[in-house]
Structure 1
């Protein structure tokens, strides 16, 4: 059990490190976050400054599948700080410094401590988006229709949670009537949607490769079924009754015989010459 948990933790760390590497060298994302969204994440304990990385603290213990009679193994949260290289660390602080200078230039009367925290928040938020690009709920959406259905379902659950009347039979022909996502004050789902759309060509290529492999598998299954049918046609199952209720079930193989041929000598002998 402990080995399985250790493997899962190492996998989570590797995926987080991959998201860190992508975010450190990303030039396409336009992260737009505000101090209000940072305050909201801190209030919801989504961004815990006492833990590093602050966004990736798992409050749920991973002991659901451990027997109460066993000693609970300590659970760890995914962290790239244990495996980060020197170059990645330097690049991280370089981005934080660039963001901090940009914040100080735009806002003159901001508290320096708040500015430093907000600079770290922007970089950590960017890393989180790349981390969730492969692990988020949008990774299950194959196309735009799936994403619209997901948004529709989330808004329906949001209305139910807030005790709003819900029409179960209402269907929107053009997808969900809402353009945004529920409870998305920090616009995280909006950024995830943009990254999902940007990854569409790679996702379409991956789907085509999977379909090609599946076609090969189906062709092999078809050949196996044909061979099985030929084998079944070449055999016959008979029941030999021995005595009373005793019987023997045997499978006999049909053997195709050609026309009998006789050598000339035997043909003359059989004719009486």
Structure 2
């Protein structure tokens, strides 16, 4: 029988493979990133370049079930490379080659190693966006108001982390711009916002389907409550005691008594007329 840890790992792998498959055949995303963004992610330790091919660190499986006392280091291997198919692998390197050729054509004096790394980063960043589109923080936002509140809260936390004065009466914290996100140098949240908006029709359809299923469930619960009330009215609970001690509990059928009806002739006879 599959353990909870194995189930979580398998679910995380499936999410990664879903994002990988979407990104490999995506024709709508227009990802605009720079080498400065790559350098920043490498400096933060988010993009691992210690072995080939490089990968984003948070592509690891979930750590929900890992004990805080566990000191064993994670392998650091991206999950989708363990399950990637041959066709997906070929498509991945095909996209890397296209990005590399485009980069070499635009910049003649770029270092070949840097160009190869940046080509990988472009494809991995695109895969990451599709991956986060299914499990990123924006998936909790139902509408634009929720997203604005999330942005407001993140800017407020950023002001607190950087020890800037926070005025709770203001609509936006210090440094907050209407469409920007804090600490978003590589514009990852901007890309996530665009993907979130693009998925609005599918999300609205999903909400309608959930509401329809919930309406069916609520109607079934209403019928069950009515049946329970009818059953409760049809029986009566009788408890039998002997010298203060409960001896038995029985459910007896309630008998509905109707009002007696007398014929007019009997009424006259009983009245003496």
Both structures adopt the same fold (TM-score exceeding 0.5): yes
Tell me the SS of whatever aligns to 1:251.
Answer: strand
Distance (whole Å) between structure 2 residues aligned to residue 65 and residue 125 of structure 1? 27
| TM-score, normalization by structure 2 | 0.83
Q: 1:170 to 1:71 in 2, by over 3 A?
A: closer
TM-score, length-scaled by structure 1: 0.83
Measured after TM superposition, the shift of residue 158 of structure 1 is 0.3
Distance 1:96 1:179, change over 3 A: same
- Mapped to 2, the partners of 1:58 and 1:89 lie a distance apart of 17
Within the alignment, does 1:208 sit opposite 2:205 as a pair?
A: no
Deviation at 1:238, TM superposition (A): 4.0
Deviation at 1:166, TM superposition (A): 1.1
> Match of 1:217?
217
| Residue of structure 1 equivalent to 2:91 | 91
Aligned to 2:269: none
Q: 2:100 touches 2:116 (CA, 8 Å); kept in 1? A: yes
Task: Report if the CA contact (8 A) 2:59-2:79 is conserved.
Answer: no
**Cα displacement (A) at 1:235:** 2.2
Report how far residue 89 of structure 1 moved: 1.3
- Please list the CA deviations of residues 106-133 of structure 1 after superposition, one character each: whole Å capped at 9, or x if unmatched: 2222111111111110000000001111
Q: Distance in 2 between matches of 1:97 and 1:108?
A: 16
Q: Residue 269 of structure 1 corresponds to which residue in structure 2?
A: none
Offset from partner CA, 1:8-59 (integer Å, 9 cap, x none)? 2222222111111110100000000001101000000010112555113578
Once residues 179 and 71 of structure 2 are traced to their aligned partners in structure 1, the CA distance between those partners, rounded to angstroms, is 48
Partner of 2:57: 56
Over aligned residues, Cα RMSD in angstroms? 3.0
SS of 2:50 mapped into structure 1: coil
Count of residue pairs the alignment pairs up: 256
- Identify which range, 119-128 or 109-118, moves more after superposition: 109-118
Unaligned runs of 5+ in 2: 261-273
What is the deviation of 1:198? 0.6
Q: Which residue in the other structure is 1:161 paired with?
A: 161
Tell me the alpha carbon deviations over residues 59-80 of structure 1, each in whole angstroms, 9 at most, x when there is no partner: 8994975496x99697665421
C-alpha distance in 1, partners of 2:18/2:2?
24
Q: Secondary structure of the residue that 1:89 maps to in structure 2?
A: helix
Within 5 A, what are the aligned runs for 1:98-113? Answer: 98-113=98-113
Report the alpha carbon displacement of residue 242 of structure 1 after superposing the two structures with TM: 3.0
- SS state of the match for residue 81, structure 1? helix
Structure 1: state its 5+ residue gaps: 261-273
Cα gap change, 1:87 to 1:241, in 2 (>3 Å): closer
